[in-house]
Each structure stands twice: as structure tokens, then as C-alpha cells.
Amino acid sequence: MPFVYRDFDQSALDAAYNNTAHVGQAKRDAFVARWAMRSDELRASLKHERNIAYGPSPREVLDWVPCGTAGAPTFAFIHGGYWQWNDKESSFQVAGGVIPHGINFVNLEYTLAPTKRMDEICQEVRRAIQWLIDNLARLGGDPNRLYVGGHSAGGHLTAVAMSNPRVSGGLPISGLFDLEPIRLSYLNQPLGMDVMVARRNSPIHGLPKAAGRMMVTVGGGELAELQRQSVEYFAAWRSAGLPGEFVPLPGHDHFSVIDELAQPSGILSKALVRLTGRA
């Protein structure tokens, strides 16, 4: 078979981005079930406002979870699912690793493909970030201390959010920063990206001139392409003179990485503490 991207033929490229196949369906399902259970527990115990609209579409909503300290920094989390699966509900568990450190938590939703395509999805996230900047003071947070993070596709959308100069820092986890291999893989069927759409929505091709501090992280047990994406994006970020830190997660796969953020003692929750200056 001919190469379709770098030294990948079609089947190899599809496998290079299939996280579930790499980890195993049963293990992936166990993670998702545990996330959902933990999210339900935290929703029952934490004061929060659910499904606050930030835009006109039904899925342009977010959850607000205050830490209880006026003027505290805020961390907005964006779920993954290759822009076409999942929702924010099982990501509420991340609040368990954030709130204990005196950081407000926002659980952000967006419209999935094929209902909306990549340009529109990215625009929704930009709208959500601007809404937060405009409304954090009313909610009880500090609009000058907004931090954004996300997992997988949410890592990509975190990098998109960093184009807003008011965002103080980012924590993309196992993100996708060059969408060209996504365009050429099985994942593009509902996304419908052409060459230009993929390029203009690839953060590695549109680095900001100035931005807050970025902490890029990926699991050491993840697919090689996922690791390459994070390593190359971080290198490009630093080469552009932008502030950042690479946070390695040895041994973690694409799903276990979230445990390091959802627990107060996790590597990523501690990184977030450093990022927000709460240390």
C-alpha cells in the first residue's frame, strides 16, 4: 500500500491514532465507568452551577464549580473524544484534583462533529473563553487568572484557547497540534476537513506572538504519534520564544493520564498549582 502520511500507509496511520485499540476496549471502558462514577459523587458533594450557556447552540454550556475563595484562579477543562465523541459529564471528576488547591473549576462543553465542523468547534471554544473572561468577576473568580486545559481533542482546543492573550496559562494533555494526519485518517469522516481547514486549525502552524505559560504533557506509554505531536508542539512553542514546560508522565497511557489531574496529589494537579502560582 502507498504511504499516505510520512512513512504510514492507510492502515498504519489509522492504527497510529486509535487510542482505544492501543489500550484495549475493556480497559478503556473501565476508565470511563470510573470517571462517570467519580463525577456523580463529586456533583453530589460540591456546590456548583450546571449548564450555564456561553453561546447559542445547545451544547455551548459549562459547569461552574467555585473553590470558596473570592478572587481565586480558575481552571477551565475541555474534554476529549476526537471532536466527535463524549461530553463534559464524566469530566466533572477533574474537579476533585483542582478544588482542594483553591482553584475554581469550569467543565466546558462544545458541539461535536458532524453537527459542527472544525472551524465552528474552535470558534465555540474561543467564545467560551471570552465569556469566562467577561463573567468570571460576577461568578467570583479573577478574570486575569484564567487557565485552560484539556485532554486529547481537548488538548488541541486548549492550544486554540491560548490564542486569547487574556488566558494566563494552558495545560494540554495528550493533545493534537497538527491536524494533517487526522485529516488523512479514519477520524476525518465526520470532521470533513480539507487541507486548508486542517492547517488553519492546527496550533503548531498558528503560534501566538505572545501568550501565557504552557505546560505540555503526554503519557510515556501512549501511541508514538501522540507523543510526537506533544514533543514537536512544545519544541515549536519554545522556539517561538513562548514560556513553557514539558511535564513527562512515564508509563501512563492515553486514559490513565487523567488520574494525574483528577487527584489532588497527582503530577498534573501539582503542575496546575505551579502554573497558577498557588504553590
| Model pLDDT for residues 209-243, shown as the tens digit of each residue | 999 999 999 999 999 999 999 999 999 999 999 99
**What is the model's pLDDT at position 71?**
93
In a domain, 1, yes or no: no
CATH code, 219 = 3.40.50.1820
**Mean pLDDT (whole number) for 124-150:** 98
Does pLDDT of 191 surpass 80?
yes
Distances (CA, A) of 5 to 16, 99, 120, 135, 192: 11, 42, 26, 43, 17
Does pLDDT of 1 surpass 90?
no
What cell was used for 71?
478572587
Contact (Cβ atoms closer than 8 angstroms) between residue 37 and residue 89: no
Q: Total domain count for the chain? A: 1
Nearest to 168 by CA among 150, 137, 145: 145
Contact (Cβ atoms closer than 8 angstroms) between residue 83 and residue 48: no
In a domain, 179, yes or no: yes
In a domain, 35, yes or no: yes
In a domain, 143, yes or no: yes
Nearest to 166 by CA among 137, 138, 140: 137
pTM as predicted: 0.98
In a domain, 2, yes or no: no
Nearest to 186 by CA among 20, 75, 45, 23: 20
Does pLDDT of 193 surpass 80?
yes
pLDDT tier, 174 (very low <50, low <70, confident <90, very high otherwise): very high
In a domain, 206, yes or no: yes
**What is the model's pLDDT at position 139?**
97
Domain that holds residue 103: 10-276
pLDDT tier, 149 (very low <50, low <70, confident <90, very high otherwise): very high
In a domain, 243, yes or no: yes
**What is the model's pLDDT at position 279?**
55
In a domain, 133, yes or no: yes
